[in-house]
Amino acid sequence: MEIQQFPPFTITPRHFHPIPNSTHHPVLVSPLKQQRNLLKLSPLFCSSSHSHPVMQDPILQQGNEPFGKSRDTHYKNSRKKRVFFLDVNPICYKGSIPSLQSFAHWISLFFSQVSLTDPVIAVIDGERGNEYRRQLLPSYKASRRKYWHQLQGAVKSPRSTIERSHRLILDVLQNCNVPVVKIESHEADDVIATLVEQVIQRGHRVVVASPDKDFKQLISDDVQIVMPVPEFNRWSFYTLKHYVAQYNCDPRSDLSLRCILGDEVDGVPGIQHVVPGFGRKTALKLLKKHGTLENLLNAASVRSVGRQYAQDALIKYADYLRRNYEVLSLKRDVSIHIEEQWLNERDARNDSLVLSNFLTSLKDSRNLNSQNRSHSIG
DSSP 85-127: EEETGGGGEETTEE-HHHHHHHHHHIIIIIITTS-EEEEEPPT
Reported confidence tier of residue 366, pLDDT bands at 50, 70, 90: confident
pLDDT the model gives residue 359: 93
pLDDT the model gives residue 165: 79
Q: What is the tens place of the pLDDT at every residue in 148-170? A: 455 545 444 455 666 777 889 99
Q: Alpha-carbon torsion 323, 327, 329, 332, what sign? A: positive
The alpha carbons of the chain give a radius of gyration, in whole angstroms, of: 22
Q: What is the tens place of the pLDDT at every residue in 301-320? A: 999 999 999 999 999 999 99
Q: What percent of the chain has pLDDT over 90?
A: 58
Task: State the Cα–Cα distance between residues 108 and 63, nearest whole angstrom.
Answer: 30
Name the β-bridge partners of 263: 268
Q: What is the tens place of the pLDDT at every residue in 1-54? A: 333 333 333 333 333 333 333 333 334 443 333 333 333 333 333 333 333 333
Q: Of the ranges 2-6, 78-82, 98-102, 285-289, which one carries the lowest mean pLDDT score?
A: 2-6
How buried is 106 (Cβ within 10 angstroms: 0-12 exposed, 13-18 middle, 19+ buried)? buried
Would you report the helix, strand and coil content of the chain in percent, each value rounded to 5?
45, 10, 40
Residue 25, φ and ψ in degrees, nearest 5: -60, 145
CA-to-CA dists, residue 3 to 147, 270, 357, angstroms: 21, 46, 5
pLDDT the model gives residue 372: 53
Report pTM.
Answer: 0.76
